[in-house]
Amino acid sequence: MPAQRLSVVVTRRLPEPVETRLKELFDVELRDPDTPMTREELADAMRRADVLVPTITDEIDAGLLGQAGERLRLIANYGAGVDHIDVTTARQRGILVSNTPGVLTEDTADMTMALILSVTRRIPEGLAVMQRGDWPGWSPMALLGGRIAGRRLGILGMGRIGQAVARRAQAFGMQVHYHNRKRLRAEIEDGLEARYWESLDQMVARVDILSINCPHTPATFHLMNARRLKLMKPSAVIVNTSRGEVIDENALTRMLRGGEIAGAGLDVFEHGHEINPRLRELSNVVLLPHMGSATLEGRIEMGEKVILNIKTFEDGHRPPDQVVPGGL
C-alpha cells in the first residue's frame, strides 16, 4: 500500500510549472484567488498541514505558531528572507524552517543598477514628459542627469547580491566601496576592486551612491538612521532593493524634501506596501512595487528550491536550505 503523501498548503499563487510539480508530488492545497491569507486562514492551514509554504507577506509569529497543529513539521518559505517567521519559536516547537537563498541574486542586482540609472539619469521624469505628450523637442539643458562612470558606489552588505552589484558597477566604471559585518577574503576583494570600510559612518560620508544590500535583522533595523543619513553628501543618491526597515523612512523623506540628499530609488519600504505619501510627491525619487526579484525564471527557481526542501524532508533528511536560529 503506497505511503500517504504529505499535506502541503501554499499561501499564494506560484508559477504554473511550480504548482504542477507540487500537485504531482504532494497532496497540495493551492491558493485561489491570489490574495494574502488572513491570520485566521493561516492558523487553520497550520493546524491541518504537514508543510506550510508561506511568502514574505505572511507574518508567522510566536502567537500563530502556538496555534499550529501536531502535524506541522516544516515551514518551507518561498523566498530567501525569513524575518517574517519566528524561527526560534518554530524550532522550539519542533518545526523546521527552510528558505530559497541564492536564486534571486542576479535579478536583484540588475534591479539595483536599474534604480541607480533611473535616479541619476532622471529616466522616470523623461518618461512622464513623453507620456503626457508635451515634449517640446531636444534642448541642451533639458533633464540633465549625472554620469555614473567614476562615481563612488558604497555597498552596505557584501553578500551574494552585494557582490553581484559590485561586478555590475565595475562594468559601468564605478569605484566600489563596501561595508560588511565581515571583511571579504583578499582574493574576492581584489577581484571586485573593492575598498573595505570598517566604519560605516566614514563610508557613507564619502560615497556618491549608496546601495542597501543587507538583510533586516535587529542589528540592521534603521541602520541608516537620521544621524547617519545626515553624513551623506547633499549630492548623494541612496538605493534600496533589500529591506525597507534598514532605512528610517521618515528621516529619509525629510532629507529628500529638504534637498539634503539628491535622490533615492526604493523597491522596498519600511512599512510594507504602506508608503509614506510624501515620497510620492518627489520628482527625485523612483518608487517600485518590490519588483527586484520579479522575473519568471527567478520565481520558478524559487519554487524548485521549495520542492527540493520538502522532498528532502519527506525522505527523512535535513532540508538543504534549512534555516538555523541564530545563524540568520
What amino acid occupies position 271? H
Query: 182: domain CATH number?
Result: 3.40.50.720
- Asked whether 59 and 84 are in contact (CB, 8 A), the reply is yes
User: 11 lies in a domain?
Assistant: yes
Long-range contacts of 222-225 (CB under 8 A, 24+ apart): 222/246, 222/247, 222/248, 223/156, 223/247, 224/156, 224/248, 224/252, 225/251
Which residues of the chain register pLDDT less than 50? 1, 328
Are 211 and 166 a contacting pair, CB within 8 Å? no
Residue 109, beta-bridge partner list: none
The three cell numbers of residue 88 are 526560534
Claim to verify: residue 261 and residue 114 sit in the same structural domain: yes
- Residues 116 and 196 reside in one and the same domain: yes
Domain that holds residue 34: 7-101+296-314
Tell me: do 243 and 310 sit in the same domain: no
Alpha-carbon dihedral angle through residues 160, 162, 166, 169, given to the nearest 10 degrees: 130
Q: Are residues 302 and 272 in the same domain?
A: no
Give the start-end residues of each E strand in the chain: 7-10, 27-29, 51-53, 74-76, 96-98, 152-156, 175-179, 194-196, 209-212, 237-240, 263-266, 285-287
How confident is the model over 217-253, as pLDDT tens digits? 899 999 999 999 999 999 999 999 999 999 999 999 9
- Write down the pLDDT at residue 200: 98
What is the structure's pLDDT at 263?
A: 98
> Is residue 327 included in any domain, yes or no?
no
Residues 45, 129: one domain?
no
pLDDT for 327 equals: 52
Domain count, the chain: 2
Same domain, residue pair 92 and 215: no
Q: Which residue, of 270, 287, 304, is where some domain finishes?
A: 287
Asked if residue 112 and residue 90 are part of one domain, the reply reads no
User: DSSP of 132-176, one letter per residue?
Assistant: HT------TTTT-----TTPEEEEE--SHHHHHHHHHHHHTTPEE
